[in-house]
Structure 1
Amino acid sequence: STNPPARRLQAFVTPEICNAQRPRKYFCSFDNSCKLDCRECGWKSATDRAFSTCVRPTPNACAADGNKVYCPSDELCHPAADCASCVDRPIVDHSQHMCVALWWSL
């Protein structure tokens, strides 16, 4: 009897496989790989820790990713409560998890 050819298990990556790795990694759907840092996954640079996937940054995705804030200027998550490097939107709006423009006069 002949043995069937060995399957290439490395070609099939899932969020569950990434989650099981130590240190924990996150699934990047662009190249079907596990990333230690979702900033290496193209425009899906936010981390969805609940589902171990790299996702598109949004205000809610950034908030779930370590309480970060969303910057519409560069469409990235910025560090928690820090909009200093968000061009034209230096103010943190905690209720929206987003960097906003200064709209009032001081």
Structure 2
Amino acid sequence: MRRPAPAPYERAWAACHVQLGRLPSRSHSGTRYYIEFADSESYVCHVEATHDSENGGELDIEDDNPLYDEFAQAAMEVIESIRGGLRRYDNALMLDYRDWLATIKNADTGAMVSPPAP
């Protein structure tokens, strides 16, 4: 059951979903990605996998609950920490729209994977 994100977060959710959907799995690409969060915390990563997820288990709720949500996630292997912050990832991180990504771009060419989230 697909439910739209709450109105204030709809644009950010849509932008992040597009960003994550454009990341290939690591088996298809050795590309290094520069990941930057809204607070400037940043990493260089490889994509391990992308998949759909949901928050039912986290919140112990069923899919008919208004708080239930489905979203795209990307499992990333951290290669280098550029600028630390509150998250302080060492080896791996999971990305989804709740992370408020600012930028995902190719770390070698600088090409944007997707425009920055609003």
Normalization by structure 1: what TM-score?
0.24
Greater RCO (Cα-Cα under 8 Å, separation 6 or more): 2
**Larger Rg: 1 or 2?**
1
* Structure richer in helix, relative to its length: 2
* Structure richer in strand, relative to its length: 2
Normalization by structure 2: what TM-score?
0.22
